[in-house]
Amino acid sequence: MSKEERGGIGSFVAFLIGMAFGATITLLLTPETGKETRKKLKKVLEEAHDFAVSKAKETLEQKKPQEEEEEHESESSN
């Protein structure tokens, strides 16, 4: 795994942690009923899930050509 890949993964994890932290603080500081807070929390979690899934798919799609190329190179060298 290259430095760029590790940096990208680290940035993504940091983003998710920051998003979770920000959402938690926001929910704790809003003067709403429990029902309203649960609705908001559900919406935030669904959006975070959708974002994470889309980023994971993007990453996998970016990795496929690299893996195929590496596989082809290793077959050529054998």
pLDDT digits (tens, 9 = 90+) for 23-47: 788 877 878 788 888 888 888 888 8
Residue 54 lies in a domain: yes
Number of domains in the chain: 1
Identify whether 69 is part of a domain. no
Tokens of residue 23, six digits: 């959402």
Q: Six-digit token pair at 59?
A: 């990453």
Give the residue numbers spanning the domain of 56. 34-60
Give the tokens for residue 72: 């082809």
- Summarised one tens digit per residue, pLDDT across range 50-73 is 888 888 888 888 877 777 777 767
Q: Report pLDDT for 30.
A: 78
CA–CA distance, 34 with 37 (Å, rounded to integer): 5
Is there a domain that residue 46 lies in? yes
Residue 57 sits at φ, ψ, to 5 deg, of -65, -45
* Within-domain flag for 43: yes
Confirm whether 47 is domain-assigned.
Answer: yes
The answer to whether the beta carbons of residues 44 and 23 sit under 8 Å apart is yes
